[in-house]
Amino acid sequence: MTSPDQVQLENIADSDYEIFALLKQRYSPRIFKDKKIAEQHLNQLFEAVRWAASSNNEQPWRFLYAVKGSEAYKKIIDNLSDSNKIWAKNAPLLMLTAFKKETKKGKENFHALHDLGLGLGAMTVQAQYMGIAMHHMAGLDYKKAQHIFQIPKDFHIATAIAIGYYGGELENLPEKLRKKEMNERQRMPQEQFAFRNNWGTD
């Protein structure tokens, strides 16, 4: 059996350059400790978002969350892709993220999704600091979720997130996902996305 601590150690990023330890330690697990997220910790996560950078201070981010065992939690699970349903049910808390499509002046907010991303980045680092894992998911039927949760038309659901304290047992996953959980993490080198003076080529 592989211990939860070993899984975390195996997932520390092998960065090319030294970076903030919390960024190296962050990864997206499919297993979580069987423990409810403390209300204080949840408030801290949202406070991190609250103070994230935002174009014209529009703060277009919105979040709908549900704890395991609630009817809303089941509804979020039902709207996830089949591949995410397999493991997301392990999370103590599930969340839908959304952004307001227009500014306060009624114009299209081109930067709303960018601002949501900044907010989630801040939340993710804060979560890591507290030993909380966040697995961001694009695999969900956002149109169905929009209807079921009666999200106003001027908002757009973007992603779902599984949240829980690091831990849990690999044995709770199918064999295929156990291997994924322990696979070596890989990222493209900087040269493929950071260009000086002229746009580079792949």
- For 88, phi then psi, to 5°, come to -60, -25
Is pTM beyond 0.75? Reply is: yes
More confident residue, 9 or 29: 29
Of the pLDDT bands very low, low, confident and very high (cuts 50, 70, 90), residue 201 is: low
- Counting beta carbons within 10 angstroms of the beta carbon of residue 69, is it exposed (0 to 12), middle (13 to 18) or buried (19 or more)? exposed
Say whether pLDDT at 1 is over 80.
no
Task: State the angle between helix axes of 112-129 and 39-50 in degrees (0 to 180), rounded to the nearest 10.
Answer: 140
Which residues 6+ apart lie within 8 Å of 21 measured at CB? none
Say whether pLDDT at 202 is over 60.
no
Q: β-pairing, 132-137 with 155-165?
A: antiparallel
**How far is 146 from 156, CA to CA, in rounded Å?**
8
pLDDT at 154: 97
Say whether pLDDT at 6 is over 80.
no
Residues 143-193 have pLDDT tens digits of: 999 999 999 999 999 999 999 999 988 988 999 999 999 888 899 999 999
Every domain of the chain and the residues it spans? 30-168
**How far is 92 from 9, CA to CA, in rounded Å?**
22
Residues 24-35 have pLDDT tens digits of: 999 999 999 999
**How far is 66 from 78, CA to CA, in rounded Å?**
13
Mean per-residue pLDDT for 74-83? 98
Query: Please, what CATH class does the domain formed by 30-168 belong to?
Result: alpha beta
